[in-house]
Amino acid sequence: MYFQHIYEEGLAQASYFIGCQKTKEAIVIDPRRDIDVYLKIAEDKNFEITHITETHIHADFLSGARELSAVTDAKMYLSDEGGKDWQYQFDHIGLKNGDAIKVGNIKIEVLHTPGHTPEHISFLVTDTAASDKPIMIFTGDFVFVGDIGRPDLLEKAAGITGTQEIGARQMFNSLKLFKELPDHVQVWPGHGAGSACGKSLGAVPSSTVGYEKLVNWAMKLENEEEFVEKLLEGQPEPPKYFAMMKKLNKFGPTVLGGIPQPAKLTLNQFREALQKGVTIVDSRDKLSFAGGHVKGSLNIQDNSEFSTWAGWMLKYDEPFVLIAYADRVEELTKALVRIGMQNFYGYVSDLDKWADQCHELDTVNQITVNELKEMVSKNGDNIEIIDVRSYIDYSENKIPNSKNIFAGYITDKLENISEEKTKVVYCHSGNRSSIAASALMNSGIKNVINLTGGFSAWEKEL
């Protein structure tokens, strides 16, 4: 049996390539939308991708199942569990609990594991050429390393009320099935640390059933009511784009036939975009952005959280211009396509030429912790300090007299922000607050200042 774990850091998302070395058939589990990585593995290792499957209708990234099937002619094997409201709305081979997929000598048994979502399934794999005992289980968003999937996304992100407690109770029962598996079975989840699909995911890519029964908090709770309460408390804010992902993945993402190539805009074309009010996404680092940017730009930095924050801040039905270094455009395009953001107007790679033509650049004022303390002591009544971290972080510790508005909701809460006062925004290190500051300025809010170093710097000065 051939096995490869493929991990995309931006969304902390794992997919898997499994092949039978005798028949050269292969299956891909939970493919992402930019499918070149799977095609390259197949070519390099001389496999034919004949099967495609996924654990559930994803909410955090756009599935590549249809894209990969269109290129390879592989059949899609998808869940038919959970009831009619949770069915895929495009052609596929349906899977039910107890079904099995054969990929050469590899047997893949389907286990219905609802809780994260009603249709969720896991895959128990046996390499029959080596043993009649299972070797690994692919758990998707059911069991993570050190955590389990959250059951509240359908309610909080997709707006389907009354589902989170039902999901929590389903999760409690699904874990009973998991605990009955042999301790030696390897656990390969759909996400790692940094994903919004759980609250305390481990950074190690895999585990075993036995180890999770020893250390995973969810395995230790035998009382259902206590389990439900603990599972639902403290879950992070679900990104806004999750609802759209759920819809697109249910009805079937458009087959692209390749990664889009945004056009490089001339200065005149860029000027026309600005005149039309097209959203400008500046992917440069926060300090470069603060030193000079096109007025009204959103600062979504080119780092591991680019996809997630693009999903928070951009709208699917509105075009955008990407400001990025030329050698990063392709990777950033892939990151956007992974969450279905493909309404590209074009990109610009050199703001110096724009500035050279006497176009004024806007700046974001910065303030140090000591300067903030001095400002508060002299004129505290005219300063509004806004903590843009999660409500969990804010509840644990904060700058005195600050208010909490999570960065992803900042433009939805403008009525809670003073027009007259000076606004000082902060997060942990300055990344999210740069996004929030740019969003406020884009909304016409004046007198916005970013706290350099964020709450981390504040704590060091205590």
Tens of pLDDT, residues 289-333: 999 999 999 999 999 999 999 999 999 999 999 999 999 999 999
Closest CA to 309 of 279, 351, 330, 339: 339
pLDDT at residue number 287: 94
**What average pLDDT does range 119-139 have in this prediction?**
98
Token pair recorded at residue 428 = 């942990």
Residue 46 carries which side chain, given as an amino acid letter? N
Could you tell me which residue, 185 or 156, shows the higher pLDDT? 185
Q: What is the DSSP string of 263-308?
A: PBPPHHHHHHHHHHT-EEEE-S-HHHHHH-B-TT-EE--SSTTHHH
The CATH number of 365-460 is 3.40.250.10
- Is the pLDDT score of 159 beyond 90? no
97-123, pLDDT tens digit by residue? 999 999 999 999 999 999 999 999 999
Closest of 66, 20, 14, 65 to residue 45, by C-alpha: 20
Locate 34 and state its tokens. 């930019």
CB 16 within 8 A of CB 6: yes
Beta strand 2-8 with 13-19: parallel, antiparallel or unpaired?
antiparallel
User: pLDDT digit string (tens) for 2-16?
Assistant: 999 999 999 999 999
Average pLDDT over the chain, rounded to an integer: 94
Query: Within 13 A of 398's CA, how many CA atoms are on the CB side?
Result: 20
Please give the model's pTM, rounded to 2 decimal places. 0.93
Q: What is the CATH number of domain 2-251?
A: 3.60.15.10
Classified by CATH at the fold level, domain 267-356 comes out as Oxidized Rhodanese; domain 1 (3.40.250)
Enumerate long-range contacts of 375-382, CB under 8 Å, 24 or more apart: 375/422, 375/424, 376/401, 382/420, 382/421, 382/422
| C-alpha closest to that of 49 among 73, 31, 66 | 73
Domains 267-356 and 365-460 share a fold: yes
CA angle at residue 303 from 297 to 308, to 5 degrees?
Answer: 75
User: Highest-confidence range of 79-83, 194-198, 349-353, by mean pLDDT?
Assistant: 79-83
Q: What is the pLDDT of residue 147?
A: 95
Cα-to-chain-centroid distance, residue 342: 16
pLDDT score for 218: 96
pLDDT at 408: 95
Binning pLDDT at 50, 70 and 90, where does residue 350 land?
confident
Q: Which of 20, 197, 358, 427 is catalytic?
A: 427
Confirm whether 427 is a catalytic residue. Answer: yes
What number is the average pLDDT over the span 27-44? 97
% the chain with pLDDT above 70 = 100
**Beta strand residue intervals within 206-283, DSSP E:** 207-208, 279-282
In contact, 430 and 451? CB cutoff 8 Å:
yes
For the chain, the domains span 2-251, 267-356, 365-460
pLDDT in tens, 47-65: 999 999 999 999 999 999 9
